[in-house]
Amino acid sequence: MENNLQNIKRLIYYTAFIVVFYINLVVIKEQSYSHIFLLYIVSAMFYCLFIVIIILDFYTEKKIKSFSREINRLELSILDLDLESSLFHSIMRIVELFIKDIPFEKILVILTDEVKNFFPKDTISIHLFEEHFININNGLSIQIPVEFFDEIVMGSGSFLINNISSFPKYNFLEKQGIKSFIITPLLKKQEPVGIFGVFSTEGKKYTQKQLEILSMIMQVVSLVIENAELAEKTKILINIDMLTQVYNRRYFQESFKEFEKKAMEDNLPVSLAMIDIDFFKAYNDRNGHLAGDIILKEICSIFKKNTKGQDVVARYGGEEFVIIFPNTMKANAKKICEHLRKLVEKTHFPSEEFQPNKDLTISIGVASYPEDTKVFKDILQKADVALYNAKKEGRNKVVLSS
């Protein structure tokens, strides 16, 4: 079509050139044509030329519009391809979290960062409920009431709201400056365990395409979260003594090194208690190992319930236990240990009246860094010596390292 138009233009130009040349030639040779006749010819030529130019302009404008539409279509295709490419790379980075040993909450932060790439001016928020009740925000601190989670649990699925003022039930978000948002549920085994939200304070008009993108990402995110939970539980199981449900010796040794590093770097006190159940062999011999296992579990339950969250209670071996008290002076550690000793002494255990001392009791040795030694690792040995002295002095005692 374009070549045909160019050929018509050339034909008109050549014809006009020939006519004008002929007229000039006639004038030069003084042929008997009147000037009016010549003027008519020139005028007709120009009219024809104008008509053809108008037609050509019409077709040219139509062609330009067609090209413009095609360019817009290609630009949208490029944007879609760019979006799909970004989506692919984000999903690949999220999938990489499957093989990384990262704390659970750190994984959630990374996930919000990835989604932030698609919504750079918005707040990205993860809310988990049930066994986790975690709120991670990349942007504003969005607070969501429990009633909102109930709506998700009832199966409303993914949705977007662009005119939040028209929905009174979302007033709690409007009060926080939110004008529009996208919400999609996080699923574990097809059951909702949380929500992933994108929130705008600028009244951004979200599209169905963006909702679809977020839903696609969330399918992978849900798997990553489920895998991270499983890895966390597995890690806990590796570090937990299965019988007593306190930490095992392996975890104690790792924690001991970490506390040593922190105590020496920050010059913080750390106390340690070595604990042994008095005459436990005699109890096992008389009542059997199953009864002895029950005693171990009950005593460990007392330890866990009556120590701080930062304290590390671990089974050191057999009926021997160890407790690390970070940032605790020896005098305070002694008070805690004395309280534990009294609780065990007051607790009634089956057949304890047949024990050599007519009761089921514990003995405890306590040492502290830097009060007892400037060498951190020595507190373990010093606490063990104090425990030996507690047994030597008649058991059912708390003895401090000297």
Spatial neighbors of 152 by CB under 8 A, at least 6 apart, are 183, 185, 192, 195
Same domain, yes or no: 177 and 255: no
Same domain, yes or no: 111 and 144: yes
Residue 200 lies in a domain: yes
pLDDT at residue number 294: 93
Residue 97 lies in a domain: no
Same domain, yes or no: 263 and 370: yes
- Comparing 196-200, 218-222, 281-285, 350-354, the range with the smallest average pLDDT is 218-222
Same domain, yes or no: 135 and 199: yes
What's the whole-number average pLDDT of the chain? Answer: 82
* 396 vs 17, more confident: 396
pLDDT at residue number 277: 96
Q: Which CATH number does the domain housing residue 372 bear?
A: 3.30.70.270
- 282-317 burial by CB neighbour count: b if 16+ within 10 A, else e? ebbeebeeeebeebbeebbebbeeebeeebbbbbbe
**Per-residue pLDDT tens for 130-142?**
666 778 888 888 8
Beta bridge partners, 126, equal 136, 196
Amino acid letter, 246: V
Q: Is 402 helix (H, G, I), strand (E, B) or coil?
A: coil
State how far the Cα of 171 lies from the Cα of 186, in Å rounded to an integer.
Answer: 23
pLDDT band with cut points at 50, 70 and 90 for residue 353: very high
Same domain, yes or no: 271 and 377: yes
Domain end, chosen from 207, 237, 267, is at 237
Q: Residue 79: pLDDT above 90?
A: no
Contacts 24+ apart (CB under 8 A), 142-148: 142/173, 142/176, 142/178, 142/197, 142/199, 143/172, 143/176, 144/172, 144/195, 144/197, 145/172, 148/172, 148/195
Residue 6 lies in a domain: yes
Same domain, yes or no: 228 and 308: no
Same domain, yes or no: 145 and 181: yes
Contacts 24+ apart (CB under 8 A), 15-23: 15/45, 16/45, 16/49, 19/45, 20/45
Same domain, yes or no: 271 and 365: yes
Residue 40 lies in a domain: yes
Q: Count how many domains the chain has.
A: 3
* 318 vs 128, more confident: 318
Same domain, yes or no: 158 and 35: no
Task: Supply the range of the domain harboring residue 125.
Answer: 103-237
Residue 327 lies in a domain: yes
Same domain, yes or no: 325 and 204: no
Q: Which CATH number does the domain housing residue 189 bear?
A: 3.30.450.40
Q: Residue 396: pLDDT above 90?
A: yes
Same domain, yes or no: 43 and 142: no
Q: Residue 63: pLDDT above 90?
A: no
**Per-residue pLDDT tens for 150-187?**
666 566 678 888 888 888 888 888 889 999 998 888 87
Residue 31 lies in a domain: yes
Residue 8 lies in a domain: yes
Same domain, yes or no: 284 and 202: no
Q: Which helix (H) or strand (E) holds 388?
A: helix 378-392
